């Protein structure tokens, strides 16, 4: 069989070619996005894998069916770039990777939380100015004296909770669907959790229920001077409301590995280009914001798993019509 991987990076290619060699299949890689302009190139292929961050054109699903493709294997946990209803209309199965390395993202979330709590960004900027003084702008709280709210206690949230507990923090969780982690307290409402937490970390998918789960209204329930970490999806946070909360002091500082308008910028090189998004520019300029380009997942283990699991899922759909990683409409 022949498989084509779109949006491929150099670090992914060895794992893709190794999978093809081990399983006796032909692999072709391209850095291009999958679009209506190149879908015709798939007429001689059996399987497709992508890692596209922005939404597909709804016409792509019919076009894929017309060239004989039965599936799209996403190389990510998120699936908000797909229109599952349109895919189903054209008998296309969409797969994702529910768990490629929960530790990768959880470790990054805790790392960023520590940077916020210890005022690392502010310390670095003081040192750049050759200001080596100690003052109230950089004095810190210790994690062991804090209550951490984990919003979304699934695979990643569970690891995150356990890591925070390892630092001695009191950890509480909010998850209406999964309360199986035994060694933390669960709150029964988001408002209750926000009112108790010194630090909030997000680990939820992007869907109708979680879009802008952090907004002007929910921020009102937070303690004054709370910390926020988002390594989930950009759509879960209303960025303008967060900026207002930083300006007022309601939020002490935030770490954003994702941004709701990230698709034009994250994963691209903008060294010699102008960033035209004023909100992103403001986030980058603030010393109470840590911004990173959707990179929490990025470890050797995660990259290997994302490539191999996506191709395994594609093969399963093609040969059996089923994959345990198929994204069902009921998940949205």
pLDDT digits (tens, 9 = 90+) for 78-101: 888 999 999 999 999 999 998 889
Which residues 6+ apart lie within 8 Å of 321 measured at CB? 93
| Tens digit of each residue's pLDDT (9 = 90 or more) over 121-159 | 999 999 999 999 999 999 999 999 999 999 999 999 999
Please tell me whether residues 240 and 106 are part of one structural domain: yes
Do 147 and 222 lie in a common domain?
Answer: yes
What confidence score (pLDDT) does residue 78 get? Answer: 83
Structure tokens at 289: 């914001």
Question: CA 206 to CA 237: how far, in whole Å?
Answer: 10
Residues with a known catalytic role: 233, 262, 294
**63 and 124 assigned to the same domain:** no
pLDDT of residue 329 exceeding 80: no
- Mean pLDDT in residue range 108-112: 98
Q: Are residues 86 and 117 in the same domain?
A: no
pLDDT of 332 above 80? no
Same domain, 212 and 245: yes
14-48 per-position pLDDT tens digit:
999 999 999 999 999 999 999 999 999 999 999 99
pLDDT at 53: 80
The structural domain count of the chain equals 2
Burial class (CB in 10 A: 0-12, 13-18, 19+), 203: buried
Q: What are phi and psi of 223, to 5 degrees?
A: -65, 150
**Do residues 138 and 155 both lie within one domain?**
yes
Number of Cβ within 10 Å of residue 142's Cβ equals 11
Whole-angstrom CA distances from 118 to 80, 169, 215, 250, 287 are: 34, 15, 25, 18, 13
Same domain, 117 and 240: yes
User: Dihedral of CA 186/190/191/197: which sign?
Assistant: positive
Residue 330 pLDDT > 70: no
Structure-derived torsion over alpha carbons of residues 141, 290, 245, 153, reported in degrees to the nearest 10: -70
- Better pLDDT: 48 or 330: 48
189-213 mean pLDDT: 96
Q: Which domain holds residue 168?
A: 102-291
Q: Which residue has the higher pLDDT, 306 or 77?
A: 306
Q: What digits encode the pLDDT tens for the residues 39-65?
A: 999 999 999 999 988 889 999 999 999
Q: Do residues 52 and 111 both lie within one domain?
A: no
Mean predicted lDDT score pLDDT of the chain: 95
Same structural domain, 31 and 158: no
Token pair of 156 as six digits: 């990643």
Q: For the whole model, what pTM was predicted?
A: 0.89
Q: Looking at residue 93, which CATH number applies to its domain?
A: 3.40.50.720
* pLDDT for the residue 331: 47
In whole angstroms, give the CA distance from residue 182 to residue 303.
30
Mean predicted confidence (pLDDT) in 258-283: 94
Flag whether pLDDT at 199 surpasses 90: yes
User: How many CB atoms within 10 Å of residue 216?
Assistant: 14
Give me the mean pLDDT over the 227-247 stretch: 97
Q: Would you state the pLDDT for residue 328?
A: 83
DSSP string, 20-88: HHHHT-EEEE-SSPP-TTTGGGGGG-SEEEE---SPPPTTHHHHHHHTT--EEEESSS--TTS-HHHHH
**125 and 273 belong to one structural domain:** yes
Residue 207 shares a structural domain with residue 282? yes
pLDDT of residue 99: 86
Instruction: Examine the domain organization and report whether 48 and 140 are in the same domain.
Output: no
């Amino acid at each position: 069989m022949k498989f084509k991987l779109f949006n491929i990076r150099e670090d992914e290619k060895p794992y893709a070619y190794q999978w093809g060699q081990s399983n006796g299949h032909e692999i072709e890689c391209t850095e291009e996005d999958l679009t209506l302009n190149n879908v015709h190139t798939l007429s001689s292929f059996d399987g497709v894998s992508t890692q596209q961050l922005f939404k597909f054109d709804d016409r792509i699903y019919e076009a894929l069916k017309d060239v004989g493709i039965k599936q799209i294997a996403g190389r990510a946990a998120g699936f908000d770039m797909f229109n599952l209803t349109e895919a189903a209309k054209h008998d296309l199965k969409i797969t994702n990777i529910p768990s490629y390395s929960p530790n990768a993202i959880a470790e990054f979330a805790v790392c960023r939380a520590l940077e916020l709590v210890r005022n690392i960004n502010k310390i670095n900027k003081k040192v750049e100015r050759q200001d080596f003084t100690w003052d109230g702008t950089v004095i810190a709280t210790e994690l062991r004296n804090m209550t951490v709210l984990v919003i979304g206690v699934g695979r990643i949230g569970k690891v995150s909770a356990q890591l925070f507990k390892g630092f001695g923090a009191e950890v509480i969780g909010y998850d209406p669907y999964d309360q199986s982690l035994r060694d933390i307290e669960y709150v029964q409402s988001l408002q209750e959790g926000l009112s108790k937490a010194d630090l909030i970390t997000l680990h939820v998918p992007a869907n109708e229920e979680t879009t802008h789960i952090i907004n002007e209204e929910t921020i009102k329930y937070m303690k004054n001077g709370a910390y926020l970490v988002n390594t989930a999806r950009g759509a879960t946070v209303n960025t303008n409301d967060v900026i207002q909360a930083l300006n007022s002091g309601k939020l002490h500082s935030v770490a954003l590995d994702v941004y709701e308008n990230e698709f034009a910028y994250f994963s691209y090189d903008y060294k010699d280009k102008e960033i035209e998004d004023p909100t992103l520019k403001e986030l980058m300029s603030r010393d109470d914001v840590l911004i990173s380009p959707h990179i929490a997942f990025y470890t050797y283990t995660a990259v290997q798993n994302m490539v191999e699991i996506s191709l395994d899922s594609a093969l399963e759909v093609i040969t059996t019509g089923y994959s345990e990683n198929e994204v069902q409409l009921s998940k949205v």
